[in-house]
Structure formats: C-alpha cells, structure tokens
Amino acid sequence: MNNDLVKLSQATDYAARQHIAQRRKGERAEPYINHLTEVAAMLAEATEGADLVLVIGGLLHDTVEDTDTRPEELAQRFGREVADLVQEVTDDKSLPKDVRKRLQVETTPHKSVRAKLLKLADKTSNLRGLMTSPPAGWTRERLRDYVVWAEQVVRSCRGLNPRLEAQFDAAYDTARRHFSV
C-alpha cells in the first residue's frame, strides 16, 4: 500500500470537507477546493512529487485561517510538519486586513523554504483567479493593488524554484498588463 497516496487522499478529502460551503470571491464563485487543489498541484509538479509535506500543506494551507480547524487537529491527522507549515502561512485574522497584508510582505523573507514555495503557488493561483473571475465589487484600483501586493509578497521567494517563479511571473505579467499596473 502506498501510504503517501493514502495521506494525500485523506488531506484532499479533509480540505474539501472543511471548505465545503466556501466559494472563491470571483464572479464565477468557484468552489474553494479548486484553489487548494491548484496550489497543491503546482507544488507537486514543481517538486516532482518529492515533498509530500509541502503538497499536503498546499491543500490545507487555509484551513486554520478560514475554518474552525485548529493546528493541533492538523498535527494529529497529518503530522507536526504539516501543521507547522500551515501555521507558518496562516494570517492572524484578529488583525485588520491592512496589517495582515503588511505583515505578509515583512515576514515572508524570514519564512522556511516550504512556506515560501507555498506563498509562490498561492499567489500565482490568486492572480490567475483575478484574471478568470475577478471578485464581484472589486474596483480596478483594488485589483491593481492586489497585483502589486502579490508581487511584493513573493519578491523574497525568488531563487528557490524556477518552475514556480515562471508560473508566478506569467500570471503577474498578464495581470499587470490587464489591470495597467
């Protein structure tokens, strides 16, 4: 039996169940799991399937931030490494949005390699989502601000994985041109 495949399937199932009622902010209101599986797939491809903890972290990266999941539950189900990675990329929702955004820019340079790779994949997925289904009610200025901010966050993630960087750069360039950044 391939235990890695079992763990990956369990993480996918868990992420889908935890985010079952959530939708992306875009006009198409896609199921949130689409974002999580895209992030996980990017990480799996970029590491050639060599880092199960990172891929599972990609699937679960928003569970603590956006659901009632506690880090201890992730540690029990998926191991301490996964829980620590998820916690490392989790924003403190008790802080105002502008503070959380500023902290992402300031703290990302000090994060682990795995957390930086996850940030790259997450921001790439988010930029792609802005292009295919921009959030309803977002002004052009807000869309531009997000594009600029996403680039600031991943600036310190360079030099770790050329494949992820190329995917981010393609998404960023498209979004930058589209929103006149």
Catalytic residue among 65, 81, 88, 91: 65
Tell me, yes or no, if 84 is annotated catalytic. Answer: no
Tell me how far CA of residue 92 lies from CA of 65, 145, 155, 160, in angstroms. 7, 21, 21, 26
Tell me, yes or no, if 66 is annotated catalytic. Answer: yes
Catalytic residue among 45, 51, 66, 84: 66
Of 102, 5, 9, nearest to 59 by C-alpha is 9
Length of the chain counted residue by residue: 181
What does the alpha-carbon distance between residue 85 and residue 83 come to, in Å, rounded to a whole number?
5
Catalytic positions, please? 65-66
